[in-house]
Amino acid sequence: MIGKMRARNFQSLEVSCRSSGVCDHPMMQISKPMIPARHRPRGLEILHEDRDILVINKEPGLLTVSYRRDEMRTAERILTNFLRKGNSRSSLQAYVVHRLDRETSGLLVFAKSPQAQSRLKDNWKQAEKSYLAIVHGHLLAKSGTFSSRLAEDDDQFVYSVNDPGAGRLAETKYDVIRETRSTSVVRVTLLTGRKNQIRVHFAEAGHPVVGDPKYGRPDSARIRMALHAKFLAFPHPHRGERIAFDTGIPEYFQRLAGGLDEAAWSQFAGQAL
């Protein structure tokens, strides 16, 4: 048995699975915690909790994890406090499995025990991660894959290098799903998971993510970076079956892209990577 079972009130939540085999069943029933408003963590929404994992929708501006003691507002610490329910003697903890950049919103999974964390990490290459991005300009190729080796300098700036020994392979698949007068709405699927990978690849192609404060263009009119981890599927660490989560399209992206809807996103569902 992985972890300890904690009694909670749950409501049923259906998660649709794609015909391409993202999930083992056409429709799966998972449990979404019914959390009283006064106990809901700020900066994130808990979409699913069971004895082994927590799946959340992170807001932009929130760190996934930090090793600085003065950085208390991280998703990891918020969820650890949520699990401990104010009990300073509790040993319950949220364990990091993967990360999102501070400026990126969307889906994250945390483990509730070291055993679950280990199993998730061991099988993480089987995870499927798709992002919604809005980038500057219009890409000449409407579908494609960026591939380069990424390195990082002393200022934590990530960039592509030609020397195979100096960087790690990063591959980013994309499909343009809509264009506005000055931007492109892109569905991005990570084939690897490197730091700042999506942001670097699009910036180096001349199409930085809208609102990107690090690799993009100065734009005081944008209230956030237009990058959202929308879809996530992975093998459950205890039961083994593949489970999938989708946040829907955030309101900010709908406004920025002129009424973007799920139909535009879904037209690329099930395509071979």
Q: Taking the chain, what is the end-to-end CA distance rounded to the nearest angstrom?
A: 35
57 is written with which tokens? 């929708």
Q: pLDDT for 195-248, tens place per residue?
A: 999 999 999 999 999 999 999 987 766 789 999 999 999 999 998 999 999 999
Instruction: Read off the pTM.
Output: 0.84
At 14 the pLDDT is 40
* Per-residue buried b or exposed e for 67-102, using 16+ beta carbons within 10 Å of the residue's own CB: eeeeeeebbbbbbbbbbeeeeeeeebbbbbbbbbbb
31 band by pLDDT with thresholds 50, 70 and 90: low
Kindly tell me if the per-residue pLDDT of 42 is higher than 90.
no
193 band by pLDDT with thresholds 50, 70 and 90: confident
- CB neighbours of 251 closer than 8 A, spacing ≥ 6? none
Q: pLDDT for 47-58, tens place per residue?
A: 999 999 999 999
Say whether 101 is catalytic.
yes
Kindly tell me if the per-residue pLDDT of 108 is higher than 50.
yes
pLDDT over 70 percentage in the chain: 80
Tokens 């994250």 map to which residue? 108
Q: From CA 100, how far away is CA 187, in angstroms rounded? A: 17
- CB neighbours of 205 closer than 8 A, spacing ≥ 6? 139, 146
Average per-residue pLDDT for the chain: 83
pLDDT over 90 percentage in the chain: 62
If one counts every other C-beta atom within 10 angstroms of the C-beta of residue 44, the result is 19
Kindly tell me if the per-residue pLDDT of 149 is higher than 50.
yes
Could you give the C-alpha distances from 22 to 68, 110, 234, 255, in angstroms and in order?
37, 20, 8, 29
Kindly state the average pLDDT of the residues 258-264.
81
165 band by pLDDT with thresholds 50, 70 and 90: confident
Looking at 23-32, 107-116, 191-200, which range is the least confident one? 23-32
At 25 the pLDDT is 39
Catalytic residue among 50, 52, 101, 175: 101
- 10-260 belongs to which homologous superfamily? Pseudouridine synthase (3.30.2350.10)
Q: Which residue has the higher pLDDT, 132 or 21?
A: 132
Kindly state the average pLDDT of the residues 72-80.
89
At 87 the pLDDT is 78
